[in-house]
Amino acid sequence: MPIDCGWRGAGRKLPVTHVLIRGDGVAGRCCAHLLSRAGLAVAGEPAGRARLPAILLGEASQRLIGDVFGLHDGFDHLPRIRQRIVAWGPKTEPAVMEHSAVVISEEALLDRLGAIPVLDDSGPALWTIYAAKPLPMVASERCFGTRIAAAMPVELERSAEPEACWMESHDSGWLFLITAAPRSGWLLAAGGSPEELLRHSRVVSARIAAASSPSAKFPASPRMAAPIAGDGWLAGGTAAIAFDPICGDGTAHAVREAILASAVIKAAARGGDAARLSAHYGNRLTAAFLRHLMHCVEYYAAVPGDWWQKEAAATKEGIEWCSGRLGGDPKFHYRLNGLELEALD
């Protein structure tokens, strides 16, 4: 169902609460948009990190962003992906599946979302949202795995399927290739070096005419901050949770985190129990991270080999860690109704 972006408390004015947002990625801009719409004073503090060259947005992610920002036609005329071609496991024949997504650079996406306002003389913040590092001293990051990924621009062969992406596993990692424009694309190599993975590739290498040097290298293992919320602060975006690119849409997760973070602050501004609301935020994000890890482990456990089993073991460690923090089957005291939190008890 589409999100009702109208504030349900329209007849009641929220007290003016100054919220500082550190980081200006998708999560930070989404928080700023939602909190500003609710009448809260928002100040931004850019993080200055490098932007991703290409993001794959599926239909669900497009609808989610469109509902929050009113961008229902904001993804028209972008390069489209209509096929996913996957060779997963040793000697597996490629499987061709229908897909529906668009390709956009992070910078172009952020331009569509709008900048975070900068407020002068706004006074000390009553809330801070850490959508970029560094986090408060009390928080530390738990990482589940050691894999590194490299991204590089490539020229595609003329014979490469148009409007397609390709995914392929190898003994020491995996490759993901995406078409970004006619005859050009982006390659993501996780685990081993791009050169090594391409040397043993049967599917992805056949679609590449020429590859440039990696434009960026970054950790590709899932990781989460703990604690993720405290007295007057919440962590969001990649500062809170970094998802494994092997599965899941990190952009959609960032928007969902921002919706919940904004709802927590709005509920607290209306007199809700800030400590209880923050605990709910931490539990909900931990549960989301647990679901992501359980999905990821299926991919890593499905491929034989020392590298895959080592990374699968690290992912299982993350599953146990999340389960321990949640204490089995936690009782949630709130639920989202549109963009607002409602108490359940």
For residue 15, the model assigns a pLDDT of 56
Give the H/E segment covering residue 169. Answer: strand 164-170
pLDDT tens for each residue of 82-118: 999 999 988 889 999 999 999 999 999 999 999 887 7
Q: Averaged over 121-135, what is the pLDDT?
A: 85
What pLDDT sits at residue 9?
Answer: 37
Q: What is the pLDDT of residues 176-190, one digit of tens each?
A: 999 998 899 999 999
In eight-state DSSP terms, residue 215 is: S
| Nearest-angstrom CA–CA distance, 334 and 119 | 31
Q: Domain 70-104+147-219, what fold? A: D-Amino Acid Oxidase; Chain A, domain 2 (3.30.9)
First to last CA, the chain: 25
Cβ atoms of 297 and 318 within 8 Å: the answer is no
What are the tens digits of pLDDT across the range 314-326? 999 999 999 999 9
- Classify domain 1-53+106-145+221-345 at the CATH class level: alpha beta
What is the C-alpha separation between 211 and 156, in angstroms, rounded? Answer: 9
DSSP states of 243-266: --TTSS-HHHHHHHHHHHHHHHHH
Domain residue spans of the chain? 1-53+106-145+221-345, 70-104+147-219
Find tokens 């489209």 and name the residue: 80
pLDDT in tens, 10-32: 344 555 568 999 999 999 999 99
0.95 exceeded by pTM: no
Distance, in Å, from the CA atom of 331 to the CA atom of 344, rounded to the nearest integer, reads 10
